[in-house]
Amino acid sequence: MANKIQSIKGFYDVTPDAQKIWRYFESQCLSIFDQYGYEEIGLPIIEATKLFEAGVGTHTDIVEKEMYSWTDKLNKDKLTLRPEGTAGCVRAVIQGSLTYNGPIKLFYRGPMFRHENVQKGRQRQFHQLGIESFGLTDPSSDAEQIIMLSRLWKTLGLEKIIRLEINSIGDKEDREQYRKELIDYFEKNLEILDDDAKRRLHKNPMRILDSKNPQMQDMLEKAPKLIDSINEDAKNHFNLLCQILKDNQVDFQLNKRLVRGLDYYNRTVFEWITTDLGSQGTVAGGGRYDYLVERLGGKSTPACGFAIGIERIILLLENANLVNNIHPDIYIVNLGNESRDKSFTIAEYLRDQDYKVAVNLDSASFKSQMKKADKSNAKIALIIGEDELKNNLIQVKLIRKDGSQIELKEKDILSFIKNNI
């Protein structure tokens, strides 16, 4: 027997049972995104490496250590499996002149790739659902995206276990000045910095603020806070954002150390966090990036967006057992070939009425089929045997109610189902 070929570490299969939860989650997202006027865009998985070097930042962990990159054998192009979605979306907007007629609101979904340490909630192939809006400077654009996420959590039943943290990191000039202040502060506390922080010190000092090293926390708490020295326009922008969130009953916490890990952000940054997934607590994050379009070769265009980590939301839904509507409404048990043919006809009729119907497709015994019906979590089982077929009757069992069973004429099935599902 040949050796089994296993999946690569950090790359995994989504089994049919898990896929049901994914489909449920994505359907809720798509419905809400549609309500807010966001349109879907499809993006390539592979992009030019220079896109992420210019967009994400050469001194970020993503570009320095985590990207899957190679040189194409045919034309020597340097290529990368996308580690995140925003840079590719910006590239598409520029290339397609998608803001020619004014602001545009987009969303995308699909796999991303980073060579990270594999753990629960963190894989090397992971999936994101991203939102981006282009051409809007007002803080109401930032607020709309945060409010939309708040609505999504409520729809999914997760609002009690996910909290919002926000901050403003000002504009380019603010960050440049802050960078100098931060380097000066950290150099005065060099003996407290760990090796990773020392490596970041002159490359990306703001990322040191994200350190989880317990020996550094007191020093980090005393570090200068960027939001305390941002310009007046940025302060007003942030204050208006906070007011809109309050007016719409969206609770939040100000986290002055929140900077996000990508170089392109300015002004608003935010993260939705849970304590139910251990160290992988950020389930969604984003902010404003008004300079990125120009940085990647387009005209100066304000923009903001976020990404949801799909795997982490799926884990929350599974842990909380919150998904209970991804089973068939009806399971049809049939005995014999003629009964099975009749089952197909009835199933198609009920599907036309928007019911989810599963039909037994093998020649298993009646007892075995009833076990399958129960395991499927269907609310009703329809039973069609030889006697029922001869007399145009169907046995109906209320699996999820009281287990009672009655006999109905075929013409009365639909009205009965409407009254019991």
Strands 104-113 and 39-40: parallel
Count of H helices and E strands in the chain? 15, 16
292 and 399 in a common domain: no
- H helices present in 117-171, as ranges: 139-156
User: Are 305 and 334 contained in the same domain?
Assistant: no
Residues 39 and 111 in one domain: yes
Query: Which one of 288, 320, 352 terminates a domain?
Result: 320
The structural domain count of the chain equals 2
pLDDT (tens digit, 9 = 90+) per residue, 311-348? Answer: 999 999 988 876 665 688 999 998 888 888 888 888 99
Same domain, 316 and 369: no
| pLDDT of 247 higher than 90 | yes
Tell me, yes or no, whether 123 lies in a domain. Answer: yes
Answer with the one of 320, 350, 372 that is the final residue of a domain: 320
User: Could you tell me the pTM of the whole model?
Assistant: 0.81
Among residues 320, 347, 372, the one where a domain terminates is 320
Structure tokens at 256: 């002055």
Chain centroid to Cα 281, Å, comes to: 13
Instruction: Give first-to-last CA distance, the chain, whole Å.
Output: 50
> Are 229 and 174 contacting, i.e. CB atoms less than 8 angstroms apart?
yes
Exposure of 397 by Cβ count < 10 A (0-12 exposed, 13-18 middle, 19+ buried)? buried
Alpha-helical (H) ranges within 171-309 are: 172-188, 195-200, 217-221, 232-247, 292-295
Same domain, 368 and 412: yes
Q: Is residue 6 part of a domain?
A: no
Would you state the pLDDT for residue 97?
96
With a cut of 90, say whether residue 92 has pLDDT above it. Answer: yes
Torsion angle of C-alpha atoms 173, 174, 177, 180, degrees rounded to 10: -120
Q: pLDDT at residue 279 above 90?
A: no
| Spatial distance between the Cα atoms of 238 and 250, rounded to a whole number of angstroms | 15
Long-range contacts of 243-246 (CB under 8 A, 24+ apart): 244/139, 244/140, 244/143, 244/147, 245/143, 245/146, 245/147, 245/166
The pLDDT of residue 243 is above 90? yes
pLDDT of residue 271: 95
pLDDT of residue 211: 79
CB atoms within 10 A of CB 27: 11
DSSP assigned state of 216: G
Q: What range does the domain containing 351 cover?
A: 330-416
Residues 156 and 235 occupy one common structural domain: yes
What pLDDT band is residue 65 in, cutting at 50, 70 and 90?
A: confident
From residue 57, give the alpha-carbon distance in Å to each of 54, 62, 63, 304, 346. 6, 8, 7, 17, 58
pLDDT tens profile 363-414? 888 889 888 888 888 899 999 888 888 888 888 999 887 778 888 888 888 8
Listing DSSP states for 43-69 in one string gives --SEEEHHHHHHHT-TTSHIIIII-EE
User: Tell me, what's the pLDDT at 168?
Assistant: 93
Q: Residue range 286-297: average pLDDT?
A: 94
Cβ-contact 269, 168 below 8 angstroms: yes
Residue 134 belongs to some domain of the structure: yes
Same domain, 55 and 136: yes
Beta bridge partners of 81: 46, 68
Residue 2 lies in a domain: no
At 191, is the pLDDT very low, low, confident or very high (cuts 50, 70, 90)?
confident
pLDDT by residue (tens digit) across 16-57? Answer: 888 888 999 999 999 999 999 999 999 999 999 999 999 888
Q: Is the CB of residue 254 less than 8 Å from the CB of residue 239?
A: no
Q: Do residue 133 and residue 270 come from a single domain?
A: yes
Q: What is the mean pLDDT of residues 139-151?
A: 95
Residues in the chain, overall count: 421
262 pLDDT tier (thresholds 50, 70, 90) = low
Q: Phi and psi dihedrals of 279, rounded to 5?
A: -75, -20
Whether 252 and 122 map to the same domain: the answer is: yes
Residue 204 lies in a domain: no
How much of the chain, in percent, has pLDDT values that exceed 70?
Answer: 98
pLDDT of residue 87: 94
Note the pLDDT of residue 261.
64
Cβ atoms of 345 and 332 closer than 8 Å: no
Q: Is 339 helix (H, G, I), strand (E, B) or coil?
A: helix
Query: What CA–CA distances, in Å, run from 166 to 136, 177, 284?
Result: 19, 21, 12
Q: Which long-range contacts (CB under 8 A, 24 or more apart) does 150-153 make?
A: 150/248, 150/250, 151/32, 152/28, 152/29, 152/32, 153/272
CATH number for the domain harbouring residue 406: 3.40.50.800
| Domain at 255, CATH number | 3.30.930.10
Instruction: Check whether residue 157 and residue 266 sit in a common domain.
Output: yes
Show the tokens assigned to 260.
Answer: 């996000």
Has residue 216 been placed in a domain? no
263 and 311 share a domain? yes
- Considering the domain boundaries, does residue 243 fall inside one? yes
Confidence of residue 419 (pLDDT cuts 50, 70, 90): confident
Give per-residue burial for 365-384: e unless 16+ CB within 10 Å, then b. Answer: eeeebbebbeebebbbbbbb
pLDDT of residue 314: 92
Whether residues 302 and 367 fall in one domain: no
pLDDT band at 270, cuts 50/70/90? very high
